[in-house]
Copies of this chain bind each other. A is one copy, B any other.
Amino acid sequence: MSDRFITMVGGSRGSLRVHDVRALSGESLDVVPYLDVRPWLAPAGDSVARWQLSGAVSNLRYATSKEREHYGSLQPPLGRAEARFGALIPIRKSAAWWELPQDTRRSIIADDSRHIAIGAEYLPAIARRLLHCRDLGSPQPFDFLTWFEFAPEYATAFDELLARLRATREWEYVEREVEVRFERIVS
């Protein structure tokens, strides 16, 4: 995941074994046995892919310099050997969300929902990466691809993190969310 543009391929092959695919809001994605992370320009071809979701690593949209200073050093890298478990959670927010001005969105995320602070409580156990899809030229079914990696012993903490975030005001604007849980195949 070092390139800025990435495609997640759900299908019959991949380096991650999928445990579970389920919709939290809106339509689900097809259940697939494997998930693969590829550079943008390496489509999987029909024989492997049931679905492909692309996204871009982009600039921070809400975090302040204080928050980055405070939490940035806690943020672990992706691909830690012990962090064999993980989840891809694509999310789409409503048109009403995108119509809101910047300060209102920031206030819902940071003040009302404490999204940044809640996420930080689970650092460095749960590594994460946010990909943006809304402004990709090729139409995408989601606005974000959120990505998490953690060691098996933090699976319960991860469930708790998700439950807390989903109970926030920010989540009232989520109109589609699918959880794809996986385990890295150790060869």
Contacts and interface: CB of A to CB of B under 8 A. Distances in A.
A65 B137 contact: no
Determine how many copies of this chain the complex contains.
Answer: 2
A101 interface: yes
Contacts of A60: 101-102
Contacts of A104: 65
| Most chain B beta carbons < 10 A, residue from A5, A40, A65, A137 | A137
B134 A137 contact: no
Given A59-B98, A98-B59, A103 B64 contact: yes
Interface residues of A, number: 29
A40 B98 contact: no
A65 B103 contact: yes
B102 A61 contact: yes
A66 to B, nearest CB: 8
Contact of A68 (B66, B67, B101, B132): B101
A28 to B, nearest CB: 24
A122 to B, nearest CB: 21
A138 interface: yes
A137 B135 CA distance: 8
A5 to B, nearest CB: 6
A91 to B, nearest CB: 15
A58 interface: yes
A136 interface: yes
Contact of A61 (B40, B54, B56, B61): B61
Question: Top 5 A-B pairs ranked by shortest CB distance?
Answer: A64-B103, A135-B135, A65-B101, A136-B137, A56-B135
7 contacts: A63-B101, A63-B102, A64-B101, A65-B104, A68-B101, A102-B106, A136-B137
